[in-house]
Structure 1
């Protein structure tokens, strides 16, 4: 430990000017704005005693809200996989008119406020909306149901999927497809073994990012969800409800569970991505 600290203080083998200063500022900045808030969140539910935490774990409404957020985030991330693959393919390999406009619109869900997204989706898919009215006539209700939650999470999670797949698809050599065809591969084999196989780790990464975003999404969901306890109430909304009730322990307990779910999901996705990667030395 002492040797490592001395090596750090001397700048190691780096020839970059200001190495120690820049690294120190980075570590302090990361610790102050990321690690410290997460550490405080992890400690807050336990300040009122272990019994209070156990009492919060018996809250059936909390588990219903967590299940709504979890299942909706998984469904939205899964549905975004084929849509993200198609859009990334069209942006990289397609030569359709308006491609640059479509490329700019992909990032729109990340640029506009989430409340604006939620209000827009609720207006479009309400029983009297432009899209909701014809769907209601055939018996499909979107707004104020879990279907609306999944739709909203697909909207905010799609850019993560597309932007994760796009650079890998750009760097995929065209020669691989040509070589596969020359060797007698069928179109289905070219797509499955040459094109999709290298994209599997990337798709898993996009799924993990979209899922983690969906678990904590609030603004774009509450306007279209209906917010009925045990039916369409999401966990972030229940946090706000607990804060309004001055139940700070309950709010932080839900927030801690959401944090753990997102953190563990990213770890799991990273492990699966590494296992399935076709570019590792073990493949």
Structure 2
């Protein structure tokens, strides 16, 4: 969003104050003309909004628009008032990857149902950590789901892509990557019927790490060996693949590493033919 763009400010003003767009633009131009050496049009619009009695705290930072690349497991922060659920998540657009954290049941529920969707985040703050800055979405922040046409598909967003499997392994978080599947097999596991995560046997009871003691379901897990120019790695996929077999096929996937194993979270594309054939 440029320094001259203030559409988001107008959207907030028109919901709070009885004023026409022409009147608002005239007020912005009046403020801007008085101090153009120190103001952008956006800053002038913020001053007008403030003078009209609109809460400008939600527009201090430019709204973030991006596709939801990943959402981490639900965790809880404890305070004197009780426990608040929160998740780490990442959005990506045509320019950057943006690490975020969201607090509150509403935001957590929305994010966990919105993979790859276009989001607009407003009224957020920022927390500077040692290695990067984290966007902090509080219970007072606003997350909106926008029309899918607002951004290109996630596979067309360069910051979502890893250069290689080795790069993925060395950099935390979920990435898109193109690989060749050189081996595949299947096994079964006990899964949580709510979230699908693998369950653990504790004191003769099957326990989900997120939902606790629930009756497990038997699910199939696909195990692959994937390769690119940087190396060969084991991979695991807990969903049904788009094709009965991915062996010797090129695949575009999203995933993340746990130690030396790649956890595949989504498969976007599979080549129509085997990339490697023998006897030709």
TM range (shorter): under 0.3
Scaled by the length of structure 2, the TM-score of the pair is 0.23
Scaled by the length of structure 1, the TM-score of the pair is 0.22
Higher RCO structure, 1 or 2 (CA under 8 Å, sep 6+): 1
- Relative to its length, the structure with more helix (as a share) is 1
- Relative to its length, the structure with more strand (as a share) is 2
